[in-house]
């Protein structure tokens, strides 16, 4: 590899690259090179460690080879993937990444969410044992297609995008998707409204059309186990049973779907139902509750799993809104 100038001083490059031989090389003043750079059979993520070496103040600014010549070394870490995420995945996964990023932006747009602690996951097309989820150091408003993180259902990082998810995120979503192969996507939020309902005895009441969608179709999980651990998340997934919505008591909500579009849309309806309940109970007047048969009929009609997909008008309109409000979600 040809020498490449990196500055006025002698420079050492330590590759630290998986799949490359040659640990470090001293270059002449003003130049540097990588020694014995033999590419392995497959490329992997790379971290290049550059140590810029300069002599103490007052000495000649050359490398020098005399014994006892002490050097001051400044370390700069450059850690970046081999190629952009988009170039390492197929078109279908990129499309889904864009939609998942948009879904995060839209949930944040419509719902008051809890800092970095809310997240949405989705199975990777053609890779049912892999999921995409939000990185731990970004708000929902900051999610992009490239900074989403890819894990397997055991919580192992599959592809390094320069980001990672919190254990609470990948444990929860991996446990649910592993326990329920029919679930494709899941939304977990702590909004003021669903937090309030999660703290009320009786949970979500069928007092609005939005709430009736979920009549007798909600699982409840007591706040007795640390669900940020994999063991706790597995217990949560078991408690979900065959339901698609769960109220985590004193914690928040989990809404699932057979597609990303469905999970997003049902989460929106669930959030509206929670807001309406909090408002109705705060008014102090007696609340009207429809007869059980009416609630069940509404649930069968409007709460049927599988009726919302990527062609649904609510999803199409949502994607158009995302494109208008925050087009950078595709980055």
Measured from the Cβ of residue 168, the count of other Cβ atoms closer than 10 Å reads 18
Domain boundaries of the chain, sorted by first residue: 1-80, 86-330
Q: What is the pLDDT of residues 12-26, one digit of tens each?
A: 333 333 333 333 333
Whole-Å CA distances, 311 to 64, 91, 203, 306: 69, 19, 32, 12
Which contiguous run of DSSP H or E holds residue 183? none
Confidence band for 325, pLDDT divided at 50, 70 and 90: very high
Provide CB contacts within 8 A for 107, sequence distance 6+.
113, 118, 120, 140, 187, 189, 264, 267
The single residue listed with the structure tokens 């700069």 is 76
In the numeric block, which tokens belong to residue 171? 């444990």
pLDDT of 82 reads 67
Provide CB contacts within 8 A for 183, sequence distance 6+.
176, 177, 244, 256, 257, 258
Mean per-residue pLDDT for 178-200?
98
Contacts 24+ apart (CB under 8 A), 79-85: 79/46, 79/47, 79/48, 79/162, 80/46, 80/162, 81/45, 81/46, 81/160, 81/161, 81/162, 82/43, 82/44, 82/45, 82/46, 84/146, 85/145, 85/146, 85/159, 85/161
Q: Which residue would you say has higher pLDDT here, 1 or 161?
A: 161
Q: What is the pLDDT of residues 141-182, one digit of tens each?
A: 999 999 999 999 999 999 988 899 999 999 999 999 999 999
Homologous superfamily assigned to 86-330 = Class II aldolase/adducin N-terminal domain (3.40.225.10)
Q: What is the pLDDT of residues 246-261, one digit of tens each?
A: 999 999 999 999 999 9
């Amino acid at each position: 590899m040809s020498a490449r100038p990196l500055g006025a001083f002698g420079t050492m490059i330590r590759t630290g690259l998986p799949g490359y031989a040659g640990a470090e090389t001293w270059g002449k003043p003003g130049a540097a090179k990588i020694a014995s750079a033999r590419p392995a059979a497959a490329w992997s993520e790379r971290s290049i460690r550059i140590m810029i070496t300069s002599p103490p103040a007052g000495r000649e600014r050359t490398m020098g080879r005399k014994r006892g010549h002490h050097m001051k070394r400044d370390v700069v870490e450059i850690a970046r993937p081999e190629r952009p995420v988009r170039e390492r995945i197929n078109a279908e996964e990129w499309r889904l990444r864009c939609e998942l990023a948009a879904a995060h932006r839209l949930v944040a747009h419509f719902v008051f969410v809890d800092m970095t602690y809310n997240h949405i996951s989705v199975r990777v097309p053609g890779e049912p044992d892999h999921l995409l989820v939000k990185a731990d150091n970004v708000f929902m408003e900051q999610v992009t297609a490239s900074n989403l993180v890819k894990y397997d259902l055991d919580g192992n990082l599959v592809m390094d995008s320069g980001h990672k998810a919190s254990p609470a995120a990948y444990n929860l979503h991996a446990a649910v998707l592993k326990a329920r192969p029919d679930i494709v996507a899941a939304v977990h939020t702590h909004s003021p409204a669903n937090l309030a309902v999660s703290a009320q005895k009786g949970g979500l009441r069928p007092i609005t059309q939005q709430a009736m969608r979920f009549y007798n179709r909600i699982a409840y999980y007591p706040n007795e186990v640390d669900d940020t651990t994999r063991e706790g998340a597995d217990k949560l997934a078991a408690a979900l049973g065959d339901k698609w919505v769960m109220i985590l008591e004193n914690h928040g909500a989990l809404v699932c779907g057979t597609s990303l579009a469905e999970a997003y849309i049902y989460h929106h309806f669930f959030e509206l139902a929670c807001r309406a309940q909090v408002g109705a109970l705060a008014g102090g007047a007696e609340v009207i509750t429809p007869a059980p048969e009416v609630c069940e009929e509404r649930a069968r009609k409007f709460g049927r799993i599988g009726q919302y997909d990527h062609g649904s008008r609510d999803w199409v309109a949502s994607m158009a809104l995302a494109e208008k409000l925050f087009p950078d979600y595709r980055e």
